Amino acid sequence: MTEPADTPTIDHAFTGDRRGPAHDPTYAGALSFMRRRYSKDVSGCDLVIWGVPFDLAVSNRPGTRFGPQALRRVSAIFDGDAQYPSRIDPFEHLSAVDYGDCLLPRSDLQGCAKAIEHQAAAIIATGAHLVTLGGDHFITLPLLRAHVARHGKLAVVQFDAHQDTWDDGVGAISHGTFMLEAVREDLIDVERSIQVGIRTVAPRDCGIEVLNAYEAHELGVAGVIERIKLRVGSVPAYLTFDIDALDPAFAPGTGTPVAGGFTAAEALRMVWAIRDLDFRGMDIVEVSPPYDHADATAIAGAAVAQHYIQALALKKAG
């Protein structure tokens, strides 16, 4: 029997509609992202959230395969109320589901890349906007392939401590080379792309604008926002947010932490301020729960995705 829409329920991830708030207690119920209903049927959806539990491309500490689980778990605190800073319930305006996780073939790295691309492409082909919970940063490369096949070449806005333009050989499966591979495959508009918060040295820039951490701190949040908007302009774009863009004080749970990054508040202000850019998809990557403390990293990562989803809802609402 179906309960009336205004009747409180539990396990909204199984019993709820694609729209509207959940009523689950924060401490109970099935844990989808922001309590969205689990479904493989994405027809008619504005938004699809899914996880890619992959960490076989890391160069330092593994553990990001557990990132999607952690991001879903901590996101339970968000749903059921109007969200900050938009002051709206995004799911009054967005038909959304949690698709679950990407099915990955074990022991076949190239097969994993193909699986991510093909499964993402099938979702994007329905017209839904795809938000991805990672996973290490390699997953952005097959995600870009899928998005570009649908939307054409994209500008990339990358928040990160690393440029990820090291060369491990053509076709390498590495979280430190995915941007170089994307440039080689002509997936991204390098003249409109920008990397923000960089505080390591890579061998090449690939024509992408690099706004390093010291420059970003000198500019301040408002200055960084202006630089991103100026660089990207009105072209279609993709947002990839590596949680190690944050200082380890705010995101200890990541594979390659680097001191000197943004605070969580600074990062969220930036993500919110660039909400009017023409983003066609996004991911939050490199959340590694085994190294987290009190869920600080997962909470920050879930908030990045939550802010992005609010922005989608505002656009949908007009």
Placement of tokens 């997936």 in the chain: 187
Tell whether 242 is in a known binding site.
yes
Residue 269: half-sphere exposure toward Cβ, Cα within 13 Å: 12
Residue type at position 69: Q
Residues sharing a CB contact under 8 Å with residue 205, sequence separation 6 or more, in sequence order: 163, 165
Tell whether 292 is in a known binding site.
no
- Cα angle 304, 187, 279 (rounded to 5 degrees) comes to 35
| CB-CB contact of 166 with 203 (8 Å) | yes
What is the separation of C-alpha 83 from the centre of its chain, rounded to a whole number of angstroms?
18
Tokens of 150: 């649908």
| CB-CB contact of 40 with 156 (8 Å) | no
Tell whether 101 is in a known binding site.
no
CA distance 245 to 18: 32
Tell whether 283 is in a known binding site.
no
Beta strands (DSSP E) in the chain are 47-52, 96-101, 129-134, 155-159, 194-198, 209-212, 237-242, 279-285
Indicate the annotated binding residues.
137, 160, 162, 164, 242, 244
Indicate the annotated binding residues for Mn(2+).
137, 160, 162, 164, 242, 244
